[in-house]
Structures are given as structure tokens and as C-alpha cells.
Structure 1
Amino acid sequence: MSDLFDNLDQRRAIIDRRALSDRLDAIAGETSDSGKRRRAMVDLLKAALDEGRAEINRRLLAHPSSGRLAASATAFLIDQIVRLSHDFTVDHLYPSGNRSAGERITLIAVGGYGRGEMAPFSDIDIGFLTPFKQTSWTEQVIEAQLYTLWDLGLKVGHSSRSVDEMIRAAKEDLTVRTALLEARFVWGDRDLYDQAAARFDAEVVAGNARAFVADKLAERDDRHKRMGDSRYVVEPNVKEGKGGLRDLHTLFWIGKFIHRVRTVRELVDAGLLTDRELRQFERAENFLLAVRCHLHTLAGRAEDRLTFDFQREIAQRMQFAERPGKRAVERFMQLYFLHAKSVGDLTGTFLAHLDEQLAARGRRFLPTLRRRPGKLHGFVLDRGRLALPSDDFFAADPVRLIEIFALADKHGLEIHPQAMRQARHDAKLIETQGVRRQARANALFLDVLTSPRDPETVLRWMNEAAVFGRFVPDFGRVVAQMQFDMYHHYTVDEHTIRAIGLLSDIEQDRLGDDHPLSTTIMHQVHSRRVIYAAVLLHDIAKGRGGDHSVLGAELALRVCPRLGLGAAETETVSWLVRHHLLMSATAFKRDLADFKTILDFAQIVQSPERLRLLLVLTVVDIRAVGPGVWNSWKRQLLTELFDAAEEVLRLGHKQRGREARIASKKEEAQALLQFGDKEFAKLAKRLPESYWIAEPVEVIAANLIHIQKAGDAPLHIAAVPDEDRGATLVIVLAADHPGLFYRMVGGIHLAGGNIIDARIHTTRDGLALDNFLVQDPLGRPFDEAGQIDRLIRAIEDALAGRQKLLPKLEARALPRTRAEAFRVAPNVFIDNKASNRFTVIEVNAQDRPALLNQLAYALFQSKVTVHSAHVATYGERAVDTFYVTDLLGDKIDGAARVKSLEKRLLEAAASRSEDAVAA
């Protein structure tokens, strides 16, 4: 018996191979029918497998963080199943009394199974080795054993090779080479295994260390890119993601290939890990294995992505408790990310040790930047990397813990991993030696934060070394802190550092095509330090149990003076943090055509400088949320709000009267269309003054063409892709009648459309003219002819009452079913002060099929006229805003009416609304 499983207590409680072997012998004695024998064997082993898994799960629940024991127990269980099935196959199904030299079989475990680490539903990677080309008997035995394992419900990754074929495959394929590196004897002919292992060492491993290391590191980098290239994604892949188990495995494979070690512990003797790093490796591996085992058990299958729906359950299984301001699932995920960070730290120092062993004298094995910097203030260069002259260099002057990063930024240098390790070890000196109070340290930090070069990279290094969180303790509190929702893709610290990187990219004109306005503005702001400090601090108070904007603004008043910002700069940073969500909330949830929206926004902003800073902060905040969150429609809305507010702040709101604005819009629209005066006047007079104020010129032009084409038709629908807005403009001209809006919305949803904005108008001759901005489920315009035809047909069918809307809408699943892991309590806010003409209703609810249709139907039931609707989604949360009046065009301000409307909307938002109209 291998010593691999010596750490397992009461192994026979998991599976008793001796007792099962006796029972299998008895089965063979009960019948000579090989079919009955095989079925009886499978039934017995299936029961043993189920009981073994149940016992392992019981142990895991009793000790929920003991991942290594659970993974080891599973490998032990599979070993016994494989051995029993093999013995029964060769003894009772295909016995051969006089085997030739070629009729020998060795069963080897490879990959994770070979390492002795298996989650409950991991693939069983097994190899069948024969001395030469397979004989008919070895083929029968291998095939029979594979069928047995498949019948047991096991997923088997297998190979059947001769020793020569194994060596040839290992030389040709990196994946095979890596799997065989961890090959372990399971059962069969031991001499044949020893022969194969010796040949693998001599013919595959010897002399090929450098090539293997380079290949594995390249493979790792490709894997990281596929997985998002960050260890701080909020739904990480426990096995393949950055900072996951595969990264630890890669380190072990490299060490094993170079030094032929058998265990991770032997890497210490090989000089690739220190004792402290070994403990770090074992803690991270144990935790990640535990998470993976819980994940497999809950999923009932091989599942490695830690999605939201599993995070909450695993946090409960691993006995995490709630804390003030932080849910149990957030505490669990914070620990997960801290371990992922630990894996990254280990990788850096491991590769530094590796560099020392593999590189020629005075050179590096791994590539680096070549620089010749000026003064290094006592720091030294080690083969192109910034290094320490001695281990006590930080201790002699702890301000150097900040200075090393400032020098790395200034000179474009990498930091030696050994220096990073020493920085992590000495980071506590920042607290004990009062570094935060020293002006030089704060000036150096501010230099890094506001660097015109690459602040994102250097701040990430600083965060990896734990120096960032020590120097700015409030930032330290959000390190590895996740936000348990579907909107945010990264942890708070990663989001913040990415936002700073985006700000630098905008300033350096690297994102001019995506953000032309922000790029221009960054060259106009009076204080670069203000905007960089605001981005740093905007989310710093998350997880404290209150409004993070308010708490963050208070923190800014304390942190900014320490960093060296003046009183006016500090006040501006505090204001920006307090209002960093104002611009996006106004642009995405309010009607920008309602002038009071602009006036209210401008009254809070008060100055053009604040407006400029707020726009840039809003842009980088949204874009740093994650891929796909920023789009051209959001850019359009923010630009529209900025332009309108900038005009108010610069000139005041009375410089352009309503008549002048309407006349200007008409002139621009006529010029765009190139219509004659008579033709244009005939079309224009059908539209009320409110229409000309509400719509942008491009939409007005599209509407007038549509009205012209419609003629006297009672219904006319058009769909025009709008690349600038990243959506399709759907125009509906129809006879106005109650319920028109909710039916149109239902039709658009049935065609797969996602409505992001809607404006409702009534022409002077009594027709409804409604404009919808619609995207497909992936956030793109409908631009193919077939898509547009389907969209138009669905609206026509809905308006004609040809189909029952609600059942069909509710049958449509959300694009991401993991939204069911969240519960958003519905809220309805009815505001009569936000607009001079309309009552503004904002509904917050969990996103789901038919939500907008049901809310629109509730408004219809309440005898409310919808004038515009604005739809925003934040992951699982939908925020729908309606500008409404009663049927006479007045605000809804009676207390009883308001209460009734609120109740009806809450009911629509809170349920699937089975009672809502089905037609």
C-alpha cells in the first residue's frame, strides 16, 4: 500500500476492499454465467461507491475546510474500486492461466488522480500499459474494465499504450507529458510500471527541463487569458482560473520535472520553496480543494466554476457567519480571493527561485525589460530587476516600502520577486514605524497614484505585496472583498485598480475612440491629483453597513490631507466620492428631455470643473465594472447629460427659450433631411411642441421619414439600426388607445428584444408615435433583415391580439439563470418634484421575463398615461423609470391615488403576476 493515503483515518469506513473482494469471489462461485457475474459485480461496486462517497461527504461536513483529506479519500476510494474491478475481470471474467510475456497489464493513475487529489466527480484519468502491442486478451481485459467503470457512472479519461507508445506520446504532446509526470502505480504488474517509469525519466525528462518550464508557463498564460486574466473575477473557476488549483499544480509540475520530487514538501529541499512558502502553498491548496469538493457535491457533477448560486450554499457548508455590513457569502469569497492572491504571491517567488537555478550567470532564464536607470537610492539591480542590497534594507528605513514602487514606476523596472517577498514580510513596519505620517512616504505614494506612465501595474504590485492596504488601511479593508451581485465582475480592490488604469489610458489618449469627450476633458481639468484620488476612494467604504458614498466622502476628508492634497482639492475629492453615482443615475434613470432633470442635476454639480471631473469618474467607474458593461448607448446618454448641464452651468438656463430650442431643432432636422419648406412644414405641424423638446435631431429625422412613408395607414412600424447608440430605433405609428404601450412592450420582448429606452408621443391628429431603443440579448442592435422582420411581426401580432402575451413571455428564460441566486426586494418610488410636468415613478425589482410588460399593464390598469420610460439593468436588478400623468394630463398627486398606484406596481414587481392580462 502506498504511503499516499497514510493520513486517512478509518479507511475501511470509506471502503473495505478485503470484504468486497471476498464477496466478489463468492459471486463468482454462485454462477458461471459471465454476464450475471459482471452485473452482480457492478451492482456491488456501485453500492460501495455510493456508500464511500456518502462517508467522504459526512467527513467533509464535519470538517468543512479539510479539502486535502476529502480529495485524498476520493482518490483512495477510486483506487479500491479500480483494483477490485481489475482483479474480478482477470480472475473471473477473462481468466488466463498461462499468460505470455506480452500479456501483462499495469494500471496507472495520471493527472490529479495520480497525485491523489480528486473532487467527488472528477474524471478518472487512468492508463493501461502493456509491454508490447496489445494481444487479444489484454484488449478484452481493458475493454471489460472500462465498461465496468462506465457502468458505475464514472467519467473516465483513459489511454491504452505499450511502453514504447507511451514514451513516444510523451515526447510529442505536452499534455501527455504533464499527465505522465504524476503517474502513480495503482494495480497490475509492478515490474512493468517500474520499467516504464525509468524510461520516462531517462528518455523524456532528462535534459529537457528548460523546454518543459517554458512550455508550461506559456500554457499557463494562455489559460489565464481564457479565464479573464484576473484572479479577482467574482465567479472564479476554482481549478483553471488565475490563482486557482491549476496554478499550484503548475508550480509542482515544474519542480517535479526539474528535481524529480515526489511531494510538494520536497520542493523545500530542492530550493524552490521556503518553509513559510510551503505552509502558504498547503493552506491555499487545502482551502481550494475544500471549495472544489463542496462544489462537486452540491452540483452532483464535475463543476469547477464557483457561480453565485453555489457561493451562498458553500459559505453555509463551510460555516461562515454574517458580520455587520458583510454577508456570510461575502466573507467566504473574501477568504477565497485572499487565497487566490496567496497563490499569485507564491508563483512570483517560486519563479524567482527557478530563475536562479536555470539562468546562466549574469543572465535571466525568464524574459525581462532591459533598462539603465539613474539614481536608485540604495536599491540595486539584479539582472534588470529592482532588488534589495540586504534583507534588512526595508527595516532600516520603512519608507523604502513605498519608495521601491515609486522607483519601479519612474524607471519602468520590474521588482525582483525576492524583494516583493521581503516587502510582504516587512509591510507591518508601515504601521509600527509610523510610515503613514511621513510626508516623504505620502508624496511617493501620490507620485505612483498619479503616474503619467502605468499606475495600474505598479499599484497592483503594491497590492500584491500587501503594502497598499497597510499604507491606506481603508483600502486594505476592501482587498479581496467581493460584491455579491451579477453586475460587478471583480472584487472592490481589483475594480478600483482597473479604474485607475482606465483613467491613465484616457489621459494618455489610448482610448480616444471609445471616450472622445473624456479624453478631451482630461486635458482641461485643473487638478489631476483630484481625479486620481477620487477614483482611488470612490468605493473605499463598501462593506461597512451604510451608504458607501456618504461614508467614503467622510473618509476622503481624512485621507486626502494626509496624502498631501490641499483644502480645496480635498473638498472636491470628497464631493466626487459623495456623488460618484449621481451622473449615471441621472443619465440612465431619468428623462434628459425634461429640462427640470438637467436643472436639478446642475444645481447639485454647481461648477463646470466638478462636471468635468464627475463625467470622467463616472466613465471609468462603469467601464471598470467588467467586460460588456460599457456601451455606446451609455456613452450617448452621458454625453447628452454633460452637454446640457455644461450649457446650464456656463450660461444659465434662460438664455435659450423654449421657442428658440424648437426652432433650432426644426432647422437642423430639415437640413438633415433636405426636405423643401412646404413638405417639411406639412410633416412638422403634426407634432406637438413637447415632441421637439424631447427627441434628438437624428430621431426626429427618422420619425419624419416614417410618418411620410406611413401616409394614411392606421399602423406603421419601422426598425432602424443606430450604431451610435448601439441599439435599434423601433418606431411605431398607430391609432392611440389604452393598453397600447404594454402590448408593444410585450411584442418586442417576445421577439427577443431588450428595451433600453422608450418615449411616447401623441401627434396633433391623435395618433401615437412611440420610439423604442432596442437591443438583442447580447446588448447589440438588431441589424439583420430576418431579425428586423421578426421584431416588426411580433409587434404587429401583439397589437392585433393574435396571441396570448403573458404565457409566452413567462416561458422565456432569463439569459443567465444564475440570477435566481439573488433576491431583490421590490421598491417603488413616486416623485412629484423631479419634473414640472410629470409624476416620475421609479421601480426597482429583480430582472425577469415580462417585467416591463407587467409594470406597463399595472400602469394601464391604474388609468395612467405613460409619456416616457427608461430601462436600466444592473446584473440581476432592473430599474424601470416612467414619466406619467393621469388621463387628463395632470400629475398624480392625490395621496390615495399615489398609494393605490404604488401598491399595484409593487404587486406587479414582486411576483410573476399570474393575474396580469394574458392577451
Structure 2
Amino acid sequence: MVRTQPAQDFSIDLTSVGVDEWRDTARQLLNETHRLLAERFDMGAEAEELLLLRCRAVDQVVRTGWRIVAGEPFGLTLLATGGYGRRELYPQSDIDLLILGEPAHQDAAQQAIQEFLAGLWDAGLAPGHAARSIRQCIEVAREDLTVATALLDTRLLVGERRELESLKAALNAPEFWPPKAFFEGKRGELRQRHARYNDTAYNLEPNLKEGPGGLRDLHTLAWLSKRLSGVDRVCDLQGIGLLGSDEADTLQRELWSLARLRIGLHLVAGRREERLLFEHQTTLAKRLGLKDEHKENLAVEQLMQGYFRSAALVLRLSERLMQRFEESLSGDVSHVEIDGDFEAFGGYLALKQPERFTTEPLLIMRLFDVWQNTADLRGLHSNTARALGEALDLVNESLRDEPDARNLFMRMIRHDHAALTLGRMAHLGVLGRYIPAFGKVSGRMQYDLFHVYTVDQHTLTVLRNIDSFRDEASKQRFSLAYEVWPRLRKPELLLLGGLFHDIAKGRGGDHSKLGADDALDFCREHGLSAADSELVSWLVREHLTMSITAQRQDIADPEVISKFAAVVGERERLDYLYLLTVADIAGTNSKLWNAWKDRLLADLYGSTRFALRRGIRNIAHGEERVGEAREEARAVLLSHGLSEAQIDRVWSGFPEESFLRYRPAQIVWQTMGIVDAPLDQPRVLVRPHHRPGALEVFVYSPDRDGLFAAVTATLDRLGLNVVEARVLTSTQGMSLDTFQVLDAGSEFISPERRAATVAESLTEVLSKTPLSAPAVRRAIPRQLKHFRVPVRIEFSENGSGRSELSLVCADRPGLLAMVSAVFREQQLRVHDARIATFGERVEDFFQLSNEADEPLDEAAQQRLREAMVTVIEADRTRG
């Protein structure tokens, strides 16, 4: 941004006014300072300049208020503490004051102090204060580390400097928070604070002050530097060998980078807000002068990428300095030889001569290979980490072209703990240098609610998921993946597919195709065979295909399976693609991997394996599949004691489509549940999935128009999200409808009890005439309000004699119930529904007909389109 010459500081004389005039004049000074600060921010002023600007104005108000309003109470000294003491005053920060003096003086001046504080409030400040003697300060601080920490940043405002010096002397006494206890206390605070944010800086709405890699981490380093090393600033650690010049420059740069973001956030929010919420991100990006480059590199995404990169650097350097502080306190100088180049120093991996990185860059790759193959290391020694950071520029084209470096990389990726090693390389900045395309997506976020991680962190999560498939502990979450994993010929090919699958995001164009080209080049350069290189490239190009097929298409349709099998072509590719798809979905958002997606992908995998065994041109036809389903289900039912006559009687009402749409296990469950059911009353079966949070609902009821709307409204009222619906009608006029639902709010209720409650509620609704279950209107969550997804409704014919409707729009509570009500109002029947949610966006598919079971003509389609848009947009406006 081009900076222009800022206006001169605003100045008002507060020294020669009376008490009443002081309040108005002080408020005017603060307001004008705020205006000037905002003006200078928009012109590109540095954060340090802006913080000092506000601090000078606040100092003037506080000092004159102490003299004019309080009358300079005898025997008391006024000190600034905390951020105010550090001269880091943000636009909406409060101010921390310490009134230092003996109790007798404080009591005598109590009225004056109260009037002083009230005056500051009237002027527009938010003072927090304590009134204590030096002895009281020390007593409280001994019991409370937070108080002890705040006192490290005290600064004289009004009074005797000797009082401040006496306080500092007491704080520096050896018995007051001994260095080791202070370090352990602050490290414990840091770990607890990080845990509150799930130990990641990569939150969609990060906290600039308290989050991992935020300003509080830098403050913690400053406090530890003061207490443990006796220096005023972190950068002063250079003088005693605890900090390198590059590290000092980086810490200073990132401090002011994060500070400027926080200043901007306060200006945009207009209040004391530390979370970079969605509603502020776009506005702040614009205010910082960032512009959209294209739809995959929005200004807001540039803003967040800058923040995430800053936070990553702060975390990296914070870990390094914390380790140095710990080393200086522990005195552990044990050396254990690893090989001629490396050793374990105090339990940490260390290059014996760290300066050798600059003359032998291959040692950078060897470092990770040795780390990967040496057990019981606590981590990387801080001096080696410093030298590595200073040598990162040497991870360049020359090193990448070196055959030994390429061989080391492939050796590491073939290791059982490859994902851990790649994570270490990424964290220390090496992976983004060795694979420059990965460096470009480091810190890159997508402005939506679907992708909760940055691209690089998502990729590393996918790699960890892949690595977990080999462990028996993963069976509960990834049961089929655990079975498929041992069949992989070369697991490293799957890891390479995971590493490159999103590497081209943000460039513009199809990231799958661009990434496939990158992967192909990389594999060829690293000596993979043509067949293996093509497999990795194919995986990257098709990494979304299986997910899209499972979630958006009818995988009970033989034609769908035939097309997908043609894309896959062979069993080996199916195995690799299935595992990458599972790892990708589970690594995109913790809420995405659920029982429904698990079953969908497993069903698609099984159907495709069967198709590939028979040959792509000889996919099992409907009649054959129906026969197989009947035979398998009948055998199970007979084993459960049902007679042939009972089975035939129930199945006489089942259309052929039942045996095509439902799996044999579902047909068994349905048959056993309704074998004794009367034809004139509803029966609802509900069972929990083997994984928590999912239920299957089967509705056997006299078929009536409006039944689908009544069921979906009831499920919505019960807090259940419908993800799939199969709507069939028996030859005897009974519904044979199945709903797959997810339950996010009943973790404290047993699945069996929840299932019983759902069955009772649905039975009660379906027993009434006429059917009635009005949809419940609920407020749209805050996060969803800040994303706009245009409503898109399209119709197509699928050859089934029905119309297929696809709906894309913004998500909101109760959407399916609302849409179902529109279908009912338009006198339409729903035969199939597939519900897919991607963060703030839904992509739903419905098979519809009129009440005569005919497809919708153009007029009916237009009426439905208009009605749906009206209802959805009206609901959005109300939200």
C-alpha cells in the first residue's frame, strides 16, 4: 500500500481547565485521537506508531485527571500495568492502573480515587484498577501468577519514581517466583490457552490475542525474557546468545504484523473484539487495501493467509525459545552419539556442528531421515532449529535436483511414519521449500464453512488419516479402510496422492487437473516408474470423483455404477481412490465424516468391486441384482424363524424396486418389523447405526399425499438431519420409506432410547387425520448469515418417468422441512431425496412426480421454482 503523509497529531491542552471542563475536553481529545488513528491506519501507518499515538493521548488524560479530578492524593503513586504499561494500547483496549501506596493513604484518598476513576469512564476510557502497598502487591502476586506477570510491565504515570523502583526490586528478589517456577507456570498457562483453541492456530475465526501463534504467545516470551534473563525485550536475548538475528527480526516483524491486524479489527468492529469473525474479515481485508484476484484468491483469503503464516512463524519461534529457556534451567547437557553428524543433546536431536547446514544443504534432508529413524527423541534441539531456519534458502532448485536429496525424500515417504515426518518438514518450513507448490498453499484458507483448515493443514491431516489406516485402533472409525489398506502394493503412492491432491488450490482453474500435472512431474523426477507416476497423477485428478458419485448420484442405479467403474478401470485404482476419498472427507471437517458417508462410500466401493469383477461391460442387470438380494435376505429371515409363507406374504407388497434400492440387511430388518403389522395403521421402525450419531428410520404406513412433508417436519422438530430418503409405495398402498438421519444433539441419551423416542413421535403424527406437522422456524446461526449462496434450481429427466430436481442454496436449520412443505403445497410426490451439506452450502437432489406419478411439465416446474425461491429467500430475510 502506498503511504501518504499523515496529518499532525491532534493536541488539546488539558492542564489549565477545571474539573467539569476536563471531562468534556478529555473526551474530545480521545475521540479526535481515535479519528486520527483510523485515518493513519487507512494510510498504511505502522502498528507501533498507532499504538503510541493512542498511548500518548491516554497518558495525557490519565495524568491530568489524576491532578485535576483526584487532586494528586498525598502519598500515592499512579502506575500503568499490563498492555498499558507496555505502551500497547489498541483502539478499544481498556487500561490497567495500579495505585501504589500505604493503606492509610489509600483510605484517606478513597473519595478522590473514585471520582478519578468515574472521570476516566466519563471521558470514554475503561479503567481497571487495584490500590495496594508494595507489600500487598508482593503478597497477592505470590499467590497469583497473572498478577505477578502484570506487574512486570509497570510504568510510572504520576508520583515518585523511587516507589516504582522499590516495587521492581521486590519483584526481582530471588525468592519471588523463582525462575523455574515462573517458567513452568507460564508454560502451563500457554498450554492450557492453546488447548482452549484445540491446539491449532488454524481456526476459521481465530483469536488474534489469545489463540495459538497470537499476540499472547509473544507477550509470554517477553515476560519469560524479563524474569529469566533480566532483559527488557525479547530482542535483547541476542546479546546473551539465546536468540539469533534472523529470529529477532522475525519476532519483531510478526509482532507488528499481528498488532496491525488487531488494530484494524478494533476499528472495524467498533468494540473490544479479539476474534476475527466472519463478519469482520471481508471488511478488514478491504480496509487493508487487499483486492480479489480471482474467485479462488479472494481478498479475504489473502488476509487470512497472511495471518496464518504469521501465526505459524510465531508458533515455530515460540517453541524454539521455550526450549532454550527450559534448557537453561534444567542444565541437561547429556550427549548421545547417533552417527557421525548427529547426536541426542539433552534428549533433543542436534546437528553436532549446526553451521554445516550452510555448506552441506543435503544435511537438511538427512536431519529428517535421522529423526524418523531414531526413537525416544524429545524433538529438535533449538540451536539446530535456529541453524535450519537460517539455512532455509538453501532448500532450492539446486538441492531439489540432487539425486541424493530425492532418494532421501522417497526413503522417508516409504517409512511407516511418513506422515509424521512430512508434518515436521512442513512445520519447520522445509516442505514448502522442497515442494514450492506446497509453500504457496501454506496458510491458504477458503472462505467458507466447509473447509475448516488451511490447505496445508488439511493436507497434513489427510496424510495422518492415511497413516492411521494401518493401525488396528482405526477400525472403529475407518473399518473398511483398515481392511483395504493391506492390499496396497505401494502405500507411498497413496501418500503422494494425498500430498498433491489440493496443492494447486488458489491458482485459478481446475485444481485437480493442475495438481495432477504437478504430481506427475514430481514422481518422474523422483524416479518412480511410468505406471506408478500415472497412478499418483490419476489419484490427484480424480480425488473428488468418488465423493461426488456417492453423495450426489443414485448408487443403486446400475448405470451410475457402470460409469464410475469405467472411470476407475481396475481394482487397484479403486482401492487407492477409496482410501484417499475417506482420508480427504475425514480431513476436511471433523463433522463431515459420519456413519452415512461411511456407508455410502462402502456401498459404492462394494458395488464397484463387484462390477469390476464381472467386467465393466457386463454390469449386473436389475433382474439379477433383485434375485441376489431376495436370495440373501430370504436365507437370513429363515434363520430367524420366519416361514416361507410369511416372507412371501410381506414381499408380495414389495415392488421390485425395493430389492434394487435396499440392501439385503435392510430388507431383513423391514420384513421382520412389519410381518405382523396391520395394513390400516402406521408402524415406524428406528434403529441406531453401529457408529454413534446416526439412525435409520423406516416408515410403513398407509400412503397419503403429504406423508413425506409430515415425516421430514417431525424429524426436524426432533433435531434430526435427514441425509437420504428412499420413498417407495407397496403394491398394497403402504409406504415403504426409509430415512437416514444424523443426530448431533443426543450424546447424553442412549441410541436405543433415542430411537424409541423418534419412533413414538412419528407414529403419533402419522396416526392423525389429516396429516399435520408444521415446520419449526429457527433462527439462522450467526456464521451462516455471512455467506451468500445464490439459489439455483435445475430440472432434468432421468429416464425413470420422474423429474429430478437439484437445489443449491445456503444452508439453514429446517431447510428440508421447509422445502418438503412446498412440495406438498404444489401437490407433488417425492420418490427419492439425497441431502448433501458442504459447510454453508447445500446440494440436494429430489425425484419428483405429480399426484398421477407423471413427470413435471414446464409449467409445473416453473411454479415450483418460483415457490421455492420465494420461501427460501423469505426465510433468509427473516433470519
In 1: Cα distance, 2:475 partner to 2:847 partner: 35
In 1: Cα distance, 2:77 partner to 2:675 partner: 82
Aligned pair count reads: 863
Match of 1:86 in 2: 66
In 2: Cα distance, 1:790 partner to 1:145 partner: 65
Q: CA deviation at 1:878?
A: 0.8
In 2: Cα distance, 1:465 partner to 1:622 partner: 26
Instruction: Work out whether 1:63 is the aligned partner of 2:57.
Output: no
Aligned positions of 1:329-340 closer than 5 A: 329-340=300-311
In 1: Cα distance, 2:64 partner to 2:742 partner: 58
Q: Give the conservation status (yes or no) of the 8 Å contact 2:693–2:743.
A: no
Aligned positions of 1:451-462 closer than 5 A: 451-453=415-417, 455-462=418-425
Match of 2:138 in 1: 167
SS of residue paired to 2:373: helix
1:315 alignment partner, one of 278, 282, 285:
285
Q: Give the conservation status (yes or no) of the 8 Å contact 2:179–2:228.
A: yes
In 1: Cα distance, 2:862 partner to 2:213 partner: 47
Amino acid at match of 1:542: K
Cα offsets for 1:408-435 (capped at 9, x unmatched): 1122443323333333333333335x22
1:634 alignment partner, one of 597, 606, 609:
597
In 2: Cα distance, 1:870 partner to 1:417 partner: 53
Q: Give the conservation status (yes or no) of the 8 Å contact 1:865–1:887.
A: yes
Cα offsets for 1:152-196 (capped at 9, x unmatched): 565444333332121012122221111111122233454433322
Q: CA deviation at 1:399?
A: 2.4
SS of residue paired to 2:847: strand
In 1: Cα distance, 2:602 partner to 2:60 partner: 67
SS of residue paired to 1:841: strand
Match of 1:261 in 2: 231
Cα offsets for 1:347-380 (capped at 9, x unmatched): 24434553564443624xxxxxx9753x35x345
Match of 1:500 in 2: 463
Amino acid at match of 1:268: Q
Q: Give the conservation status (yes or no) of the 8 Å contact 1:743–1:799.
A: no
Q: CA deviation at 1:873?
A: 0.9
Q: CA deviation at 1:319?
A: 0.8
Instruction: Work out whether 1:605 is the aligned partner of 2:568.
Output: yes
SS of residue paired to 1:22: coil
Match of 2:447 in 1: 484
In 2: Cα distance, 1:578 partner to 1:683 partner: 47
In 2: Cα distance, 1:797 partner to 1:328 partner: 55
In 2: Cα distance, 1:788 partner to 1:11 partner: 69
Q: CA deviation at 1:284?
A: 0.6
Instruction: Work out whether 1:232 is the aligned partner of 2:202.
Output: yes
Q: Give the conservation status (yes or no) of the 8 Å contact 2:520–2:534.
A: yes
Match of 2:703 in 1: 736
- Structure 2 runs not aligned, ≥5 long: none
User: Alpha carbons of 1:189 and 1:730: their partners in 2 closer, same or farther (altered >3 Å)?
Assistant: farther
User: Alpha carbons of 1:826 and 1:565: their partners in 2 closer, same or farther (altered >3 Å)?
Assistant: farther
2:297 alignment partner, one of 308, 312, 326:
326
Cα offsets for 1:673-729 (capped at 9, x unmatched): 644444444333232221233223554455446546763545555654434373233
Q: Give the conservation status (yes or no) of the 8 Å contact 2:76–2:105.
A: no
User: Alpha carbons of 1:475 and 1:73: their partners in 2 closer, same or farther (altered >3 Å)?
Assistant: same
Amino acid at match of 2:807: V
In 2: Cα distance, 1:59 partner to 1:790 partner: 64
In 2: Cα distance, 1:706 partner to 1:155 partner: 66
SS of residue paired to 1:168: helix
User: Alpha carbons of 1:750 and 1:232: their partners in 2 closer, same or farther (altered >3 Å)?
Assistant: same
Cα offsets for 1:370-391 (capped at 9, x unmatched): 9753x35x34544443333445
Aligned positions of 1:290-301 closer than 5 A: 290-301=260-271
Q: CA deviation at 1:580?
A: 0.9
1:727 alignment partner, one of 694, 717, 720:
694
In 1: Cα distance, 2:336 partner to 2:795 partner: 62
- Comparing 69-78 with 142-151, greater Cα deviation is found at 142-151
1:470 alignment partner, one of 420, 424, 433:
433
User: Alpha carbons of 1:204 and 1:144: their partners in 2 closer, same or farther (altered >3 Å)?
Assistant: farther
Match of 1:417 in 2: 382
2:658 alignment partner, one of 674, 691, 702:
691
- Comparing 291-300 with 695-704, greater Cα deviation is found at 695-704
Amino acid at match of 1:546: G
Match of 1:31 in 2: none
SS of residue paired to 2:265: helix
TM-score, reference length from structure 1 = 0.86
Aligned positions of 1:49-128 closer than 5 A: 49-63=30-44, 66-91=46-71, 104-128=75-99
In 1: Cα distance, 2:61 partner to 2:875 partner: 55
In 1: Cα distance, 2:428 partner to 2:626 partner: 62
SS of residue paired to 2:494: helix
Q: Give the conservation status (yes or no) of the 8 Å contact 1:748–1:795.
A: no
Cα offsets for 1:542-570 (capped at 9, x unmatched): 11111111221222221111122211111
Amino acid at match of 1:70: L
Instruction: Work out whether 1:450 is the aligned partner of 2:418.
Output: no
Instruction: Work out whether 1:870 is the aligned partner of 2:834.
Output: yes
SS of residue paired to 1:20: coil
Instruction: Work out whether 1:302 is the aligned partner of 2:269.
Output: no
TM-score, reference length from structure 2 = 0.90
- Structure 1 runs not aligned, ≥5 long: 1-7, 28-39, 364-369
Match of 2:727 in 1: 760
Instruction: Work out whether 1:200 is the aligned partner of 2:171.
Output: yes
Q: Give the conservation status (yes or no) of the 8 Å contact 1:106–1:189.
A: yes
Q: Give the conservation status (yes or no) of the 8 Å contact 1:205–1:257.
A: no
In 1: Cα distance, 2:760 partner to 2:41 partner: 52
Aligned positions of 1:240-255 closer than 5 A: 240-255=210-225
Percent of matched pairs sharing the same residue: 30
- Comparing 499-508 with 279-288, greater Cα deviation is found at 499-508
Amino acid at match of 2:552: K
Query: What is the root-mean-square deviation of aligned Cα atoms in Å?
Result: 3.4
Q: CA deviation at 1:22?
A: 2.6
User: Alpha carbons of 1:903 and 1:668: their partners in 2 closer, same or farther (altered >3 Å)?
Assistant: farther
In 2: Cα distance, 1:307 partner to 1:867 partner: 41
In 2: Cα distance, 1:156 partner to 1:687 partner: 74
Q: Give the conservation status (yes or no) of the 8 Å contact 1:596–1:836.
A: no
Q: CA deviation at 1:285?
A: 0.9
In 1: Cα distance, 2:676 partner to 2:231 partner: 79
In 2: Cα distance, 1:708 partner to 1:121 partner: 69
Aligned positions of 1:373-452 closer than 5 A: 373=338, 375-376=339-340, 378-390=341-353, 392-412=355-375, 413=377, 414-431=379-396, 434-452=398-416
In 1: Cα distance, 2:394 partner to 2:657 partner: 65
In 2: Cα distance, 1:9 partner to 1:107 partner: 32
Q: CA deviation at 1:875?
A: 0.7
Q: Give the conservation status (yes or no) of the 8 Å contact 1:53–1:120.
A: yes
User: Alpha carbons of 1:636 and 1:371: their partners in 2 closer, same or farther (altered >3 Å)?
Assistant: farther
Amino acid at match of 2:394: L
SS of residue paired to 1:269: helix
